[in-house]
Structure 1
Amino acid sequence: MRKIIIAAILASTAAGAAQAQTLGTLDNRLNKLEREVRAVQRKVFPGGNDRFFEPEIQTPAPGAVDDNGGFGVGAATPTAVFTERLNALESQVQNLTGQVEEMNFKMRQMQERLASFESDTKFRLQTLEGNGGEGALDFEGGGGSPSAGGPEGQYAAAYSLYEEKDFSGAQSAFTAFMEANPEHEKASAAGYWIGRSLLQQDQPVQAVQAFLSNYQERRDGVRAPDSLLWVGRSLMQIEPPRREQACQAYDRLETEYEGKMSNEVVSGLVEARMEADCS
């Protein structure tokens, strides 16, 4: 009889140890899964707060399970504790999935809106020109031969004309620079100053074309973000102002050059959005 009792005790102890080991394994797996969901939250919604998703997964209060995997009197059963944690985790995953789907939907809407920007702007500019606009880009009027000092000297001479408020001369000089040095690192800046020179001559339609072409042809250029900003600002100088197209340009700028804009462009974008009353 004594041997039977001892065997029963040993069997019960082994079962308890096996149960504790199983519970420990499940607990580790749940902890790992919860950490992964939190990591996804932080990655998808950096700096996230209650505006984007609910507070992180709430796990049962510590102390429900003792150090040996056992449960004290009145404590929840292992099944109840793990069920609660799984339910919380499933709810959080469902919420996160819904938020990601909503974000993806909004991104698709933005992409569709931006995709139509260039062709829509080009069409509207052609319509403007057909209704008495100022015509196509006019880069005639000389431009002169390359200045002494090579490309750098030629660019400096063109910029001096702009500073001296000889905007027609600056337009021609920058155009000549670009024709002679299409791959030069300052070609993007020259294209930008052509647009600014046109605006100074009260030619916003041509300025839009110049800025848009400079952005399209040199998207990695140093003045590509500036050019896109001034596409919108030039559209606002056409009568009547083209607010919707200007806001499309600002959306494109913010999406394509996020984190790459100079402080000047960032502050200019804020001001331009307010001027155009962009939503």
Structure 2
Amino acid sequence: MNRAIAAPLAVLAMAVAAIPANAQDNSTEARLRKAETEIRALQRKVFPGSDGKYFEPEVTAAQPASTGAARPSTTAVTDILARLDALESQLARLTSQTEENTNAIAQLGTRLGALEVTSGAAATAATPKPLAPEANLSAMTGGASRPAPIPASATTGTSASTPPAAKPAGPTAQRLAAVQAIAKPQTDDPGKDEYDYGFRLWDAGFFPEAQQQLSLYVEKYPRHAQISYGRNLLGRAYLDGGKPAEAAPWFLKNYQADKQGARAPDSLLFLAEAMIVQKDTKRACIALAEFSETYPAVATGRLKSQYNADRAKVKCN
């Protein structure tokens, strides 16, 4: 009788022990099906067609098991590993495609930015409104002395009878290609990106393009941390491009807007140089005197060589 009772109990114990294993297999199967469903949804977004323009998905819907069919020869563990390998392969492919698309979009944005700059290279760059003769440099002397107005021939380099110059031709294909080769930075600080791009254009010798780019920067970001650098560099782009009359107002504005700015001392010296180029010795001397009085430490330190060179070019009382 004991043996008759023990046999059914043993069978019951084996059935109970198999329940957790079956539950675990069912849980793993459900998780895999959920992952495969999400992958297929993502594939429909990334690979929406099969007409040869898109990649075919590597993970396909699982075929329903036919009732009464023979069981596959592989074990459950082998099937799970194969399906996991397929999922990992497809995820890697999707990640690679996303990175390629992101990089292509970034390069396209850079090229469009370069085209926007070069398309207006031949046009006259915007300049600040000319200062009245009585305000030009007299503010630096506290009104003690008022320089004489600059003659029109001195600022333009031509006489009244000189006919206007012909409109310059547009940039050549070689110049456009060279400008497009200069990449525009793309960081989380758009103001710095605009300034850095203008600096790269100026450093490469593309002064009209640098003038336009830096004008955009100072107009769009007047309170940016590098605005003192931007106004000073805009003046230098005009000065280096052979336009000292357009450069002088930017140097003066940069000094007057913030005398403690990082490039305010530099702007005073470059203002003197712009006056020297225009043969306006009086205003050049005023700028040099203001520089030595306002920035004595800089005059004997960082900008000593430039200051001495500018003083040697003119004779000041």
- Which structure's residues are more often helix, by fraction? 1
TM-score by length of 1: 0.49
